[in-house]
Structure 1
Amino acid sequence: MRWPSENSPRPTGFHLLTQSRELALPLPARPLRITHFAQGLWASGVGDQMVALLRGLPRHHRQLLAVLENEGPLRETVERLGVMPLEFRQHRAQRVKGEPAADTFEAWLRATRVDVLHVHDTPSALVAMPAALRVGCVVVMDRMSPVPGPDQDRTRRAALRWLTRHARHVVADTEATRHQLVAEEGMPDHRISVIPAGFDLERFELAARAGLQRPLPPVLAAPVLVHVGGMVDPSSREEDLLHALVQVRQRFPAVQAFFVGEGPRRPMLEQQARELGLSSGVHFLGYRVDVPAVLARARVAVRCGTTTGRSLALLEAMATGLPVVATAVGGFPELLAQGERGWLVPPKSPEALAEALVQALEDPKQAALRGARARSFVARELNVTRMISDHETLYQRLLPH
């Protein structure tokens, strides 16, 4: 493993820092050693927010990146920023015999003298946080889905709650997350900060204008529904959209659906689409780097899971101005203003999902109005510079001066 030296390149890019809406930050701020830790380098809400921090925090900080797996489409992006990911891979046999990845990370933490360790997801927290607690490092932990769902085993849920209680501070993406952490996990409110996702609208629009990187299926003038997300977790419930499509096609026989993303659930979903007689109307596009351009060719975006996480896919659809039909879980009602910026439906209800999709397709004026409100909200409230500034303020506040 290659450890960075004092002469390792620093991140480059835009380095904007404004005052937080709530906490004023005097400039210049104290230089910090900040290590971000994530499972991998996948294009997701977690990954893109982490890259935004690497790109945007002031350049006098020394930022490092640790991962459990040095894989994913964002690897090239972070390396262009001058950040070389450090891998602390935990192999299957190691999980049984012990925690060598955690031991190795602990030795690295002691040698590097990190000021702040920011843990961005659950798998990395399980490895990084025990080591950080032994070292006495300040830990900031992201909690985007406050209470793990029933699909996660009891031991994992208990471990996540224990780690959360022992973090110095927790970052929640919505007020709903904060409320559930306090009410259901007993977290003290003063140890939680709500920092909404930061969305780089300018970069998104540039990507949209760049156009498609490879062709889409020929759908002519048919209305297109689009679902973007990794087909990894059962909680994403893509199958609910397949069942809803059967009903939607009774009213709109030509409707087409694009599933953008890749994961181990894809073969099962493809088989289910065939069994439902949807082969001619459902297209699995795999991983795409041109999601903004794909969204620009759709009529409605869909999010139908039972948990939200930090849903980059939802924000991208809102930024496009697409009407969104989403399940009323987690922070989605906040983002969609209880339906004023889209349609909200109960989770695990293909019938309600189908009804909302039909409404969006039948009333294009109402759909356009809700889409326009969503785009305006992203531009006004989910500014990436604000998100970076709020993290900078938090890091500085947690350390002794």
Structure 2
Amino acid sequence: MDRFANRFSDVVVANSLAVASDTAARDNYSINRIKIVANALDFSRFDNIGERRNGTRARLGLDPGDVGIIIVANLIPYKGHDDLIEAIALASKVRPNIKLFMAGQDRGIGSALARKAERLGIGRKVQALGVQSDIPGLLAGMDVGVIASHEEGFCNALMEKLAAGLPVVVTTVGGNPEAVSGLPGCVLVQPRAPTDLARGLLEIVDRLPERKTEQEFRQRTMRQRYSIEAMADAYETLYLTGNG
């Protein structure tokens, strides 16, 4: 349906350059007719989340010296949880204070992931939290965010982690490189590569605690790039002029 509609559209909107390129190649569609309008977040949900850090950590059983690592994604193979558990097993040999939290709906692989964590000796370091209604509050208690996906379009979960000020390790798929462009404390790794993922995690963990200026820069930049107002302005310009 998308391919049919694209052929008869004056302009096609994509939410990242990566998605635009994929659409042009897949549909044999001129990339010059594809305009990029990025996704947006309601950043008011992230106001003053630092005040919730201690409460979240206490609820999750994180001690002051623990490093909380978070992935927010439904438990689906292409989201890379399997790779991440391997990476945590490798990284925890160097940094035994690492703990992984997985927030998202179990789509059928949760038991296999739990068995793998036990087999690798990190069962107590991995918690599956299920679906969480308060993602900003959860992120407030974390130290590092991860996107381990094998494929993506433009990842809202990555936007949320950056909006919370977290340093992140992300795979080089979809719009991920665009989202972290120019931001400190962001490490790009290849997908399906647990060793690289572990190396990226350790690179960030070794730098903790970060300078507050880095965290604030990420938060400020995200609000500038991906606000609802910026998205609305981009669409208004597109409708009025036909150009993004």
Normalized against structure 2, the TM-score is what? Answer: 0.85
Give the direction of change, closer, same or farther, for the CA distance of 1:367–1:252 in structure 2 (3 Å limit): farther
| 1:284 paired residue number | 128
1:214-233 maps to which residues of 2 (within 5 A)? 216-221=59-64, 222-232=66-76
Alpha-carbon displacement from aligned partner over 1:249-276 (angstroms, at most 9, x marks no partner): 1111121111011131222222222222
Secondary structure of 1:387's match?
helix
Quote the offset at 1:163 in angstroms: 5.6
1:390 corresponds, among 203, 221, 234, to: 234
Give secondary structure in 2 for the equivalent of 1:381.
helix
The answer to whether structure 1 residue 244 and structure 2 residue 61 are counterparts is: no
Instruction: Tell me: CA distance 1:229–1:244, structure 2 relative to 1, closer, same or farther (3 Å).
Output: same
- Pick from 176, 179, 204: which aligns with 2:18? 176
TM-superposed CA distance for 1:332, in Å, is 0.9
1:198 is matched by which residue type in structure 2? Answer: A
AA at the equivalent of 1:245: I
2:149 to 294, 305, 310: 305
Q: Structure 1 pair 179/303, CA: closer, same or farther in 2 (3 Å)?
A: same
Matched, 1:195 2:37: yes
- The amino acid that maps onto 2:36 is V
What is the root-mean-square deviation in Å for CA atoms of aligned residues? Answer: 2.8
Shift, 1:176, TM fit: 2.2
C-alpha separation in 2, matches of 1:347 and 1:216:
32
Deviations 1:364-397 (A, max 9, x none): 2667665443222201111111212333454566
Q: Identity, % of aligned pairs?
A: 26
- The one-letter code of the counterpart of 1:391 is Y
* Aligned partners of 2:140 and 2:164 also within 8 Å: yes
The structure with the largest helix share of the pair is 2
**Could you say if the C-alpha distance between residues 269 and 374 of structure 1 is closer, same or farther in structure 2, counting changes exceeding 3 Å?**
same
Return the alpha-carbon distance in structure 1 between the equivalents of residues 113 and 9 of structure 2: 38
Greater relative CO, 1 or 2 (CA 8 Å, sep 6+): 2
1:185-238 Cα deviation digits (max 9, x unpaired): 421234322001112212332677678799733121211100001113x21111
Equivalent in the alignment of 1:255: 98
CA positional deviation for 1:328 = 1.1
Greater shift, 351-360 or 191-200, is seen at 191-200
In the alignment, which residue of structure 1 is the partner of 2:201?
Answer: 357
- Is the Cα–Cα contact under 8 Å of residues 83 and 194 in structure 2 kept in the other structure? yes
SS at match of 1:230: coil
Kindly state the Cα deviation for residue 169 of structure 1 after the two structures are TM-superposed. 4.0
TM-score when normalising by structure 1: 0.54
Gaps of 5+ in 1: 1-128, 130-159
- List runs of 5+ in structure 2 lacking aligned partners: none
Partner of 1:235: 78
**Distance in 2 separating the partners of 1:329 and 1:367:** 28
Match of 1:39? none
Preserved CA contact (<8 Å) 1:342 1:367: no
